[in-house]
């Protein structure tokens, strides 16, 4: 989405619809960076490990779907132009993660979650609402969300089979990027959410992880 043009509300709605389709349709995202997995050796996993890793990568893929929706919703309602640009740039960077996870899921003989459209819609609504409240709340929500993502990634890295270096390379790079997104959001003026709100976000994230691991 170009930062130099002025879009009407109708234009922005159409652009958001296009972003939603590119997020949800298989292999629609075009990563700017090659997957970190391509330099790692191909190792055949046993059936149980392959199924487990596919479930973990499906969770991470859905997390990236949610991130796309969150950023797009916030960009739609952000009040300051620089915040809108920041949200759009972050969404572009998350496309890499989305594509990497989907590619790895397919390599493992599985598919992304069937619940992705539902989680996209919910996340878009939350992002848009946060942007309507204030840009500082919106940025704070990004930071808190990325903190949750980093915790999931740490857990998944600990659960990966030692021989699966392809999935590990992807998750390690994702963690570096997500931590940077959280820091950037706080540096831009985001509010640090109190513990009770973060606890509520943790409970909601558990619903997502439990359902998308299998569905």
Tens digit of each residue's pLDDT (9 = 90 or more) over 139-163: 887 888 888 888 889 999 999 999 9
What's the chain's average pLDDT? Answer: 80
Which residues are annotated as part of the binding site?
64, 94, 97, 146, 178, 181
Output the pLDDT for position 2. 43
Q: Each residue of 18-44: pLDDT tens digit?
A: 666 566 666 666 777 889 999 898 888
More reliable by pLDDT, 83 or 213 = 213
Question: Against a cut of 0.85, is the pTM above it?
Answer: no
Cα separation, 45 vs 48, whole angstroms: 8
Q: Which domains can be identified in the chain, with CATH numbers?
A: 47-212 (1.20.1260.10)
Mean predicted confidence (pLDDT) in 56-63: 90
* pLDDT number for residue 94: 76
Among 70, 81, 69, 74, CA closest to 4: 81
More confident residue, 102 or 31: 102
Q: How high is the pLDDT of residue 142?
A: 80
Numbered residues of the known binding site for Fe cation = 64, 94, 97, 146, 178, 181
Chain-centroid distance of CA 96 in Å reads 10
Of 30 and 65, the structure prediction assigns the larger pLDDT to 65
Residue 140: what are its φ and ψ, rounded to 5°? Answer: -65, -35
- How many angstroms separate the CA atoms of 215 and 207, rounded? 12
Per-residue model confidence (pLDDT) at position 4: 45
């Amino acid at each position: 989405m170009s930062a130099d043009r002025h879009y009407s509300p109708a234009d922005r709605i159409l652009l958001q619809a296009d972003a939603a389709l590119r997020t949800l349709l298989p292999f629609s995202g075009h990563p700017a960076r090659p997957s970190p997995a391509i330099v790692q050796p191909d190792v055949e996993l046993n059936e149980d490990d392959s199924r487990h890793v596919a479930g973990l990568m499906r969770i991470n893929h859905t997390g990236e779907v949610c991130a796309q929706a969150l950023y797009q919703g916030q960009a739609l309602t952000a009040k300051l132009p620089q915040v809108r640009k920041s949200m759009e740039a972050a969404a572009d960077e998350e496309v890499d993660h989305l594509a990497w996870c989907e590619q790895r899921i397919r390599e493992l003989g599985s598919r992304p979650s069937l619940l992705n459209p539902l989680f996209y819609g919910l996340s878009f609504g939350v992002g848009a609402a946060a942007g309507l409240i204030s840009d500082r709340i919106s940025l704070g929500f990004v930071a808190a969300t990325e903190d949750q993502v980093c915790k999931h990634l740490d857990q998944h890295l600990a659960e990966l089979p030692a021989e699966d270096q392809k999935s590990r390379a992807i998750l390690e790079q994702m963690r570096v990027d997500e931590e940077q997104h959280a820091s950037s959001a706080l540096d831009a003026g985001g509010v640090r959410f109190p513990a009770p709100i973060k606890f509520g976000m943790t409970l909601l994230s558990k619903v997502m992880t439990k359902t998308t691991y299998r569905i």
